[in-house]
Amino acid sequence: MASKVIHALYNDDDVLMDAVKKVRAEHYHIEEVFCPFPVHGLDKAMGLPHTRLAITAFMYGCVGLTVAITMMNYIMIEDWPQNIGGKPSFSYIENMPAFVPIMFELTVFFAAHLMVITFYMRSRLWPFKEAENPDVRTTDDHFLMEVDAGHHDVNALTSLLSDTGAVEVKVIEKEEDNH
Amino acid sequence: MYKLSNRLRLFSIILMVVGLVGLVLGFAQRPSSIEEVKEMMASHDSHGGGHGETATQDHGEGHGEDAHGGDAHYEHVLHQLQNKPWAALYVAAFFFFMIALGVLAFYAIQFAAQAGWSPVLFRVMEAITAYLVPGGIILFVILALSGFHVNHLFVWADPEVVAHDKLIQGKSGWLNGTGFIIRAAIFLGGWLLYRHFAVKFSRKQDEDSEGNRWYKKSFKISAGFLVFFIYTESMMSWDWIMSFDPHWFSTLFGWYVFASLFVSGITTIALMTIYLKSKGYLEFVNDSHIHDLAKFMFGISIFWTYLWFSQFMLIWYSNIPEEVTYFITRIEDYKLPFFGMLVMNFIFPLLVLMNSDFKRVNWFVVMAGIVILCGHYIDVFNMVMPATVGESWFIGISEISAVLLFLGLFLFVVFRALTKAPLLAKGNPYLEESKHFHY
């Protein structure tokens, strides 16, 4: 099904922020905003929910800690408790200080790497992935707001967007929704 | 302007009086002879049952009679018990002094780093550092008394001990009463001097902010102070803490003490700020300032743990007898405080202050702050007590009274200092940024 979206281009992040607020106040649906750099407060203005990446990182860290403890407990205490330089290997707790550096590093390792991979998967980033930006200028010095025009009066929406200081407003027919 | 409420004044005075009475009681209860020690221990025995003391005493008796024969053990216990109120006084005096010192270092860092978030908190920090003056004088008096062996806190101050101790003799070039006092005077003098001028320049900047003349001076002396501070703080930790165990040494001890005093200082700033804001005195302080302080509490708590563990693990791992005794006495006789403080100073703040939203919830920060402060009191306790009272420790009347006494004095001095100047450092060039600080 063909759907209509409107691309409004801006060349200043302050103007963009105001435009986002105005469009939201008129209850139009903003599909996407493309920026060349992070704009502070844009997520808040668009009403995006908070990221939960930090929570996943904490859980991954717990996994890493568990891996480190079970691994060393099995190797050093249960499987072959050798006397290495007089270090006590009768129980995990007795020899724990020697394991702490590894426990720490594995916690950080798991938390960091798994969180990054989660980020890639959630934001659909991988090598050979086809770039999605609708206008090449958005990676350089332009900001683009994509507004859903499906059931609205296109002319009214276009004039609203022009009023917000857009340098360019285009109506795009999308053949296929890639969502 | 802040007005000291009568209730707070009365509260702090009551704390001081109660603490003083308790402390006098603690000093009065000290046994003065071996007979009294025997009597005390016997009565403990007859009350009997399950008390930790019974175990130590049984063990002690057998040991004492076999090895030294007769009264040697009781004499040992007598010395420990006579030290107890002194050590309690010392721990509390040092603890509250180190809070003020930590705040002073934090204050200087804010200036030297030209921090844009903290100028709204400068007057709170200046007020806390006001405690340096009375606290420093009291600490100096206690140090002077101990350095010249009025009490038995520092073994190296006892000429009789030194005469039989080759190791201390070798260190007596550094560890002697005169040098000890001169160094203490230099450290305290330098810190107080910086504090005096920093506050003076900050007030002058309020009146005359033209060209930021006074601000630039503050910046310069802060940078200079930080250089002076890191040397003197390190030496202070050898003198005032590490020399309780004159046979032991550790190279990162200065940093370890620094982390402890720094995190206590920052926590106190956060607690004071939250209190004053709740009373409506700091309307220009917002959530983000509290959030930043809580981040510092969190980060420096972990830094403290890092140093604690580095010191512990290196010594535990290599297990060299002359170093490891330090931790063996602590683990054997102080198991609960020694590992308990690790929970209070590391695990608790780690879990409570990790969440970004919790760092903005005042009661969360207050709760974490109180636990951190108690934890660092126990940290100082662990550093001082094993060498002064050994296994005869307990947190009793003298310890609690000493804390109450200095807490009362601290509150009284700090809140009175708050009344001396407006709570907003008007002339600071970073003030507008700080007022609109948002994270």
pLDDT in tens, B108-138: 999 999 999 999 999 999 999 999 999 999 9
* Partners of residue A98 in chain B, C-beta under 8 Å: 313, 317
Please tell me if residue A98 touches chain B, with a CB cutoff of 8 Å.
Answer: yes
Chain A residue numbers with beta carbons less than 8 Å from the beta carbon of B312 are 97
Residues of chain B positioned with their CB less than 8 A from the CB of A58: 354
d(CA B276, CA B125): 12
Q: Percentage of residues in chain B with pLDDT exceeding 70?
A: 94
B194 compared with A160, residue with greater pLDDT: B194
pLDDT at residue B51 in the model: 42
User: Stretch B5-32: mean pLDDT, rounded?
Assistant: 92
The pLDDT of residue B64: 40
What average pLDDT score do residues B144-167 get? Answer: 89
- Report the residue of chain B nearest A40, measured CA to CA: B439
Kindly give, in sequence order, each residue whose CB lies less than 8 Å from that of residue B17, ignoring residues fewer than 6 positions away: B408
Quickly state the pLDDT bin for A2 (edges 50, 70, 90).
low
What is the pLDDT, as a whole number, of residue A178? 53
Q: Is A12 helix (H, G, I), strand (E, B) or coil?
A: coil
Going by pLDDT thresholds of 50, 70 and 90, the confidence category of residue B294 is very high
> Which residues in A lie closer than 8 A to residue B356 (C-beta atoms)?
54
Instruction: Specify the pLDDT at position B403.
Output: 96
Higher pLDDT, B18 or B31: B18
Averaged confidence pLDDT in chain B: 90
Report how far residue A84's alpha carbon sits from residue B401's, in angstroms, rounded to the nearest whole number: 48
Burial (CB count <10 Å: 0-12, 13-18, 19+), residue A137: middle
Q: What percent of chain A has pLDDT over 70?
A: 96
Q: Which residues of B touch A100 (CB under 8 A)?
A: 309, 313
Taking 80 as the threshold, does the pLDDT of residue B25 lie above it? yes
Q: Which amino acid is at B237?
A: S
Min Cα–Cα distance to chain A from B314, Å: 9
Chain B within 8 Å of A97 (Cβ-Cβ)?
yes
What residues in A contact B324, CB-CB < 8 Å? none
Per the document, the length of chain B is: 439
In terms of CA atoms, which chain A residue is nearest residue B317?
Answer: A98
In this predicted structure, the answer to whether residue B80 has a pLDDT above a threshold of 90 is no
Calculate how close chain B gets to A55, using CA atoms only, in Å: 9
Residue of B nearest to A104 (CA): B306
Query: Are B356 and A54 an interchain contact pair (Cβ–Cβ within 8 Å)?
Result: yes
The interaxial angle of helices B72-112 and B397-418, nearest 10 deg, is 20
Q: How far is A128 from chain B (nearest CA, A)?
A: 36
* Phi–psi pair at A60, nearest 5 degrees: -60, -40
Structure tokens at B76: 């040992």
Tokens encoding B371: 């636990």
Q: What is the pLDDT of residue A177?
A: 53
Residue B259 CB burial class (10 angstroms; 0-12, 13-18, ≥19):
buried
Backbone angles phi, psi at A148, to 5 degrees: -70, 125
A87 to chain B: closest CA residue: B317
Nearest to B359 by CA among B417, B286, B431: B286
Q: What is the pLDDT of residues A42-86, one digit of tens each?
A: 999 999 999 999 999 999 999 999 999 999 999 999 999 999 999
A78: DSSP letter: I
Task: Please judge whether A54 and B317 are an interchain contact, meaning their C-beta atoms are less than 8 angstroms apart.
Answer: no
User: What mean pLDDT comes out for the span B246-261?
Assistant: 94
Between B27-31, B185-189, B202-206, B282-286, the lowest mean confidence (pLDDT) is in: B27-31
B428 pLDDT higher than 60: yes
Segment A90-145, tens digit of pLDDT: 999 999 999 999 999 999 999 999 999 999 999 999 999 998 888 999 999 999 99
Alpha-carbon span B315 to B327, nearest angstrom: 8
Question: What is the C-alpha separation between A17 and A36, in angstroms, rounded?
Answer: 14
Q: What is the pLDDT of residue B46?
A: 55
The reported pLDDT for the residue numbered B44 is: 65
CA distance A127 to chain B (A): 33
Confidence of residue B48 (pLDDT cuts 50, 70, 90): very low
**pLDDT of B75 higher than 90:** no
End-to-end C-alpha distance for chain A, whole angstroms: 13
Q: Are the C-beta atoms of B385 and B393 separated by less than 8 Å?
A: yes
The pLDDT of residue B52 is above 50: no
| Residue A55 in tokens | 């929570």
Instruction: Please report the pLDDT score of residue B79 as a whole number.
Output: 85
What are phi and psi for residue B4, nearest 5 degrees?
Answer: -70, 120
Instruction: Tell whether A35 lies on the interface with B, counting CB pairs under 8 A.
Output: no
Sign of CA dihedral B87, B93, B95, B101: negative
Neighbours of B189 (CB within 10 A): 13
- Residue B118's nearest CA partner among B102, B107, B132 is B107
Is residue B152 classed exposed, middle or buried when 0-12, 13-18 and 19+ CB atoms within 10 A define those classes? middle
Task: Tell me the DSSP string of B126-163.
Answer: HHHHTTHHHHHHHHHHHHHHHHTTSSSS-GGG-HHHHH
Whole-angstrom CA distances from B349 to A16, B40, B66, B304 are: 41, 40, 47, 12
Interface check A58 vs B, CB under 8 A: yes
Alpha-carbon distance B96 to B255, whole Å?
18
Write out the residues of chain B at the interface with chain A, using a CB-CB cutoff of 8 A.
309, 312-313, 316-317, 319, 354, 356
| B199-221 pLDDT, tens digit each | 999 999 988 888 899 999 999 99
Chain A contact set for B307 (CB, 8 A): none
Q: Do B317 and A98 touch (CB under 8 A)?
A: yes
Which residue does chain A place closest to B315, by CA atoms? A97
Quickly state the pLDDT bin for A164 (edges 50, 70, 90): confident
Is the pLDDT score of B158 beyond 70?
yes
Q: What is the pLDDT of residues B303-355, one digit of tens each?
A: 999 999 999 999 999 999 989 999 999 999 999 999 999 999 999 999 999 99
Q: Which residue of A has its CA nearest to B312?
A: A97
Starting at the earlier edge strand, list the strands of the sheet with A168-174. Answer: A30-34, A143-148, A3-10, A168-174
Least Cα distance to B3 among B439, B420, B430, B431 occurs for: B420
- Mind telling me how many Å the CA of A135 is from chain B's nearest CA? 32
Residue B313 with chain A: CB contacts under 8 Å: 97-98, 100
- Give exposure, B69-84, as e/b (b: 16+ Cβ within 10 Å): eeeebbebbbbbbbbb
Residue A58 CA to residue A61 CA, distance in Å, equals 5
Please say if the pLDDT value at position A1 is more than 70: no
Residues of A in contact with B354 (CB under 8 A): 58
Strand pairing partners for A10?
Answer: A143
- Please tell me if residue A54 touches chain B, with a CB cutoff of 8 Å: yes
A175 pLDDT exceeds 80?
no
A169: part of which helix (H) or strand (E)?
strand A168-174
- The torsion angle over the Cα atoms of residues A39, A42, A43 and A46, rounded to 10 degrees, is -150
pLDDT at B30 over 90: no
Interface test with A, best of B302, B306, B309 (most A CBs within 10 A): B309
Q: pTM for this one?
A: 0.90
Comparing A142-156, B50-64, B168-182, B336-350, the range with the smallest average pLDDT is B50-64
Instruction: Tell me the C-alpha to C-alpha distance, in Å, between residue B150 and each of B86, B165, B175, B347.
Output: 10, 20, 16, 40
Asked whether residue B98 carries a pLDDT value surpassing 60, the answer given is yes
B312 CA: distance to closest CA in chain A (Å): 9
Beta-carbon separation of A86 and B319 below 8 A: yes
**Across the interface, do A100 and B313 touch by the CB < 8 Å criterion?**
yes
CB contact under 8 A, B309 and A97: yes
